[in-house]
Amino acid sequence: MSDKAGVCLELRDDVAGIDQATEILCAGGTVALPSETVYGLGADATNALAVQKIFSAKNRPTGHPLIIHVENIDSARFFSNDFNVVAETLASTFWPGPLTLLVKRSSKVIDEITGGRETVALRVPANETFQKVLHAFSQVGSGAIAAPSANKYGSVSPTTAQHVLSDMGNLIDAVLDGGNCVVGIESTIVDCTVDPPAILRQGAITLELVNSALRHTGVVATEEFTGESRAPGMKLSHYAPVATVKLFENKDALASYEEQCVLNELSFATILGHEDRELYARNLYSLLREADALQPKEILVLLPEPIDIGVAIRDRLFKAAAPH
Q: CB 282 → Mg ion: shortest distance, Å?
A: 17
Pick one of Mg ion, ligand TXA, none as the site partner of residue 66 (Cβ within 5 to 8 A by kind).
ligand TXA
- Comparing CB distances to ligand TXA, the nearer of 28 and 96 is 96
- Comparing CB distances to Mg ion, the nearer of 29 and 148 is 148
Per DSSP, the three-state class of 244 is: strand
Pick one of ligand TXA, Mg ion, none as the site partner of residue 189 (Cβ within 5 to 8 A by kind).
ligand TXA
In whole angstroms, give the CA distance from residue 55 to residue 96.
26
Per rule CB under 6 A, is residue 66 in the interface with ligand TXA? yes
Strands 119-123 and 99-105: antiparallel
Q: CB 224 → ligand TXA: shortest distance, Å?
A: 11
In whole angstroms, give the CA distance from residue 108 to residue 111.
10
Per-residue x/- track, 95-134, ligand TXA (CB under 6 A): -----x-x-----------x--x-xxx-x-----------
Q: Which ranges of the chain would DSSP assign to H, the alpha helix?
A: 15-26, 48-58, 73-78, 85-94, 111-114, 128-140, 161-168, 207-214, 251-263, 277-293, 310-321
- Comparing CB distances to ligand TXA, the nearer of 44 and 186 is 186
| Residues in CB range of 58: below 8 A, 6 or more apart | 41, 148, 151, 152, 153, 168
In whole angstroms, give the CA distance from residue 303 to residue 249.
5
Per DSSP, the three-state class of 65 is: coil
Scan residues 146-185 and list those touching Mg ion (CB under 5 A): 149
Identity at 311, one-letter amino acid code: V
Which residues pair with residue 99 across a beta bridge? 188
Size of the site for ligand TXA (CB under 6 A): 27
Q: CB 103 → ligand TXA: shortest distance, Å?
A: 9
Instruction: Among 4, 64, 274, 324, indicate the residue that binds ligand TXA (CB under 6 A).
Output: 64
For ligand TXA, the binding residues (CB under 6 A) are 35, 37-38, 40, 64-67, 100, 102, 114, 117, 119-121, 123, 147-149, 186-187, 189, 230-234
